[in-house]
């Protein structure tokens, strides 16, 4: 916020032409003492100002709210022209009316509107008139109450009336700066921006030359860029050509200045950005410096994919390369096929991060897989081998026959079986019966043993009852158990009983137990009651315990109430195994539930072991809650003492 200011030292050359600044200020203070007179003055001034404003520039008059908003953010957003006819309000009258405006209205928007109208109607050639507005604005307004809008209007209007005097005043820190050591403050900058924008309407070279004369690099650069941005709207070719010859201070290296200008142009005139990049002299890129830093700056203006592509095509490789992935990432969801075309046309595939390409081909498979595979012929064999499986896997659930025909054709051409495997794997999950029929059909024409084994394993997952015998003949004895451990849990989706029966026949007891547990969990996730009937029919064994635990673990996750209700139908030994499964699943997230279920375990040793496991976690996460539960329990005192030791 700009603090209140004392009036500046504007001068009046001849006393016969008007009162001195001090006398004028004194009259203004006296005017505040007479309320009746102020009211009359205000009414007269408002009527007069409005009449003149409408007559001179009615196109600018608009609503009060719209007219009073700060409008110096960009010269192209608004073209507020000052009055083009001779103004008549002198310095003394301006002082009286400013005093009236200050006294009679407290609404910031209305006050700013009236001040701006008064500026346009004032005789800014009169000695001290512009300074009166400057003093009033800086002493009575803030950035929040319209200071910048008023200063911008003052700069434009004063520049139209007497730009030399306006420039001399605004560039004099003794008269305009809060801090004399601040050669050009923010307020002067706003007013100068308005002044130069008006100046350029009649004398563009002169306005540019004046901007170049500003000694502070940051303000000089900003004023020049502001003028060039305005110039782009009317004569883009000339503006771009002139900007390419512009020189800036060493504190802002040339390329960074160009990037700043590019960002401003992209906001208002995005179609000009490629042409602007074309006009950057080659030597500017040669001294680019930190390419990563520049790429990060440019990344902010490449959010529009097609524009971003045009930008990258014009950048040197070290700067463009880090931008490729971010561009493709933003392009993938808008126009994935256009993104792929651009990557191929400009040989940018290798410059793109693997995960970004993954997402692109997944998206293409969902949107337009046929167009994508048509373009595969333009991709190198090495890159095809990486992304063809991903494309096929995403394509298969939508159009399995088309995806499989394409993958099979690639395999027959000697381009690898991986797409065929991944596509079939995805198909098995959506339509196991159709996938099984396809596998049974294609398996006889596969000659390589390793490829036949991979397809046979997929066949097991799609139709275990039909495929298991063939699979056992193809799988080496030393890997058969491990491969069944991989295939049978997935096979439970297509035929859980066949998968479960096959799991029980695995020769290795450790692998057998693991596989039964996995199949039980998968079956319990889909049809828990059928799964329990099967598990209960198994002879008593470690496999039966594993099956029941994992069936109830899955059941308890998906349908906790029905799972716990069903416990009553099990005999005590099986019920304990079911409770173990539910408790293990809940002891981390719901320890109080797990502890309460632990009380229902029939075997005392199993119950104690479970509660120890629960309290080992519960005691650390919520010791107060664990202690309160334990005090209310009816557990034997010895067990309570042991469990208390688990609580810190």
Q: What would the DSSP string read from start to end of 316-335?
A: -HHHHHHHHHHHHHHHHTT-
pLDDT band at 313 (very low <50, low <70, confident <90, very high): confident
CB 82 within 8 A of CB 24: no
CA distance 420 to 415: 11
CB 316 within 8 A of CB 308: no
CB 403 within 8 A of CB 431: no
- Which is nearest to 155 in space by CA: 93, 110, 210? 210
pLDDT band at 54 (very low <50, low <70, confident <90, very high): very low
pLDDT at 74 over 60: no
pLDDT band at 282 (very low <50, low <70, confident <90, very high): low
What percentage of the chain has pLDDT greater than the value 90?
A: 42
CB 247 within 8 A of CB 258: no
Mean predicted confidence (pLDDT) in 159-167 = 89
pLDDT band at 17 (very low <50, low <70, confident <90, very high): very low
Three-state helix/strand/coil letters over 135-153: HHHHHHCCHHHCHHHHHHH
Q: Cα torsion for 584, 586, 587, 590, to the nearest 10°? A: -170
Mean predicted confidence (pLDDT) in 16-45 = 34
Paired tokens of 642: 């042991």
CA of 435: how far to CAs of 76, 157, 401, in Å? Answer: 62, 79, 10
Q: What would the DSSP string read from start to end of 364-399?
A: HHHH-HHHHHHHGGGS-HHHHHHHHHHHHHHHTTTS
Three-state helix/strand/coil letters over 576-613: HHHHHHHHHHHCCCCHHHHHHHHCCCCCHHHHHHHHHH
Mean predicted confidence (pLDDT) in 390-409 = 92
pLDDT at 99 over 50: yes
Non-local CB neighbours of 211 within 8 Å, separated by 6+ positions: 196, 220, 223, 224, 227
Q: What would the DSSP string read from start to end of 429-448?
A: HH-HHHHHHHHHHHGGG--S
Whole-number mean pLDDT of the chain?
A: 79
Paired tokens of 379: 């991709």
CB 494 within 8 A of CB 432: yes
> Long-range contacts of range 370-374, CB-CB < 8 Å, 24 or more positions apart?
370/402, 371/337, 372/337, 372/340, 373/406
Q: Count CB atoms within 10 A of the CB of residue 125.
A: 14
Non-local CB neighbours of 139 within 8 Å, separated by 6+ positions: 4, 5, 6, 7
Paired tokens of 469: 């015998």
Residues facing 122 on adjacent strands: 89
pLDDT given at position 434: 95
CA of 42: how far to CAs of 38, 111, 133, 241, 441, in Å? Answer: 6, 12, 17, 51, 96
Q: Count CB atoms within 10 A of the CB of residue 262.
A: 19
pLDDT at 97 over 50: yes
pLDDT at 47 over 50: no
Q: pTM higher than 0.75, yes or no?
A: no
pLDDT at 646 over 50: yes
Q: Which of 45-49, 176-180, 369-373, 458-462 has the highest mean pLDDT?
A: 458-462
CB 387 within 8 A of CB 361: yes
Per-residue pLDDT reduced to its tens digit, 186-209? 777 788 888 888 898 889 999 999
pLDDT given at position 366: 86
pLDDT given at position 362: 87
pLDDT at 633 over 50: yes
pLDDT at 338 over 80: yes
Question: Collapsing DSSP states into helix, strand and coil, what is residue 89?
Answer: strand
pLDDT given at position 561: 93
CB 379 within 8 A of CB 350: no
Per-residue pLDDT reduced to its tens digit, 597-615? 999 999 999 999 999 999 9
Mean predicted confidence (pLDDT) in 114-126 = 92
Q: CB burial class (10 A; 0-12, 13-18, 19+) of residue 335?
A: middle
Mean predicted confidence (pLDDT) in 340-362 = 89
């Amino acid at each position: 916020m700009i603090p209140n200011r004392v009036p500046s030292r504007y001068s009046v050359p001849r006393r016969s032409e008007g009162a001195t600044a001090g006398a004028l200020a004194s009259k203004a203070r006296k005017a505040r003492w007479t309320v009746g007179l102020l009211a009359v003055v205000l009414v007269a001034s408002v009527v007069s100002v409005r009449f003149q404003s409408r007559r001179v520039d009615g196109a600018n008059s608009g609503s009060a709210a719209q007219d009073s908003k700060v409008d110096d953010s960009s010269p192209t957003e608004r073209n507020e022209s000052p009055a083009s006819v001779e103004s008549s309000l002198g310095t003394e009258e301006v002082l009286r009316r400013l005093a009236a405006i200050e006294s009679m209205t407290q609404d910031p928007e209305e006050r700013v509107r009236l001040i701006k109208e008064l500026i346009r109607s004032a005789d800014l050639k009169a000695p001290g008139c512009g300074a009166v507005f400057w003093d009033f604005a800086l002493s009575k307004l803030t950035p929040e109450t319209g200071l910048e809008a008023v200063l911008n209007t003052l700069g434009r209007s004063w520049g139209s009336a007497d730009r030399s005097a306006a420039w001399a005043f605004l560039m004099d820190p003794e008269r305009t700066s809060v801090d004399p050591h601040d050669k050009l403050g923010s307020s002067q900058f706003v007013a100068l921006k308005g002044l130069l924008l008006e100046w350029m309407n009649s004398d563009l070279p002169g306005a540019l030359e004046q901007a170049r004369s500003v000694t502070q690099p940051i303000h000089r650069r900003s004023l020049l860029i502001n003028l060039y941005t305005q110039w782009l709207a009317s004569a883009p070719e000339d503006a771009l050509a002139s900007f390419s010859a512009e020189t800036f201070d060493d504190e802002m290296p040339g390329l960074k200045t160009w990037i700043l200008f590019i960002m401003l142009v992209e906001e208002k005139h995005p179609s000009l950005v490629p042409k602007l990049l074309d006009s950057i002299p080659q030597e500017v890129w040669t001294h680019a410096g930190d390419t990563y830093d520049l790429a990060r700056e440019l990344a902010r203006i490449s959010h529009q994919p097609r524009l971003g592509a045009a930008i990258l095509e014009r950048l040197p490789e070290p700067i463009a390369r880090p931008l490729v992935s971010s561009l493709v990432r933003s392009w993938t969801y808008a126009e994935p096929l256009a993104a792929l075309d651009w990557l191929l046309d400009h040989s940018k595939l290798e410059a793109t991060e693997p995960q970004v390409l993954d997402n692109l081909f997944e998206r293409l498979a969902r949107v337009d897989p046929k167009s994508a595979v048509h373009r595969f012929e333009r991709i190198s064999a090495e890159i095809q081998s990486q992304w063809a499986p991903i494309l096929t896997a995403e394509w298969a659930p939508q159009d399995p026959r088309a995806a499989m025909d394409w993958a099979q054709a690639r395999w027959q051409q000697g381009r690898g079986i991986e797409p065929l495997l991944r596509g079939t794997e995805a198909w098995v999950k959506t339509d196991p019966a159709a996938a099984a029929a396809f596998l049974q059909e294609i398996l006889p024409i596969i000659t390589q043993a390793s490829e036949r084994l991979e397809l046979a394993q997929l066949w097991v997952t799609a139709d275990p009852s039909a495929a298991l015998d063939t699979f056992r003949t193809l799988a080496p004895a030393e890997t058969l158990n491990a491969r069944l451990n991989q295939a049978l849990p997935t096979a439970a989706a297509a035929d859980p009983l066949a998968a479960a029966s096959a799991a029980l026949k695995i020769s290795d007891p450790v692998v057998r137990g693991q596989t039964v547990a996995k199949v039980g969990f998968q079956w319990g996730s889909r049809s828990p009651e059928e799964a329990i009937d099967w598990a209960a029919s198994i002879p008593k064994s470690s496999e039966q315990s594993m099956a029941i635990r994992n069936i109830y673990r899955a059941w308890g996750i998906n349908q906790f109430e029905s799972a716990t209700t069903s416990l009553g139908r099990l005999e005590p030994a099986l019920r304990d195994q079911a409770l173990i499964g539910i408790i293990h699943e809940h002891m981390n997230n719901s320890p109080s539930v797990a502890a309460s279920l632990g009380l229902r375990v029939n075997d005392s040793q199993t119950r104690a072991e479970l509660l120890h496991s629960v309290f080992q976690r519960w005691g650390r996460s919520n010791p107060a809650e664990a202690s309160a539960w334990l005090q209310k329990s009816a557990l034997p005192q010895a067990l309570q003492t042991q469990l208390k030791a688990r609580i810190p």
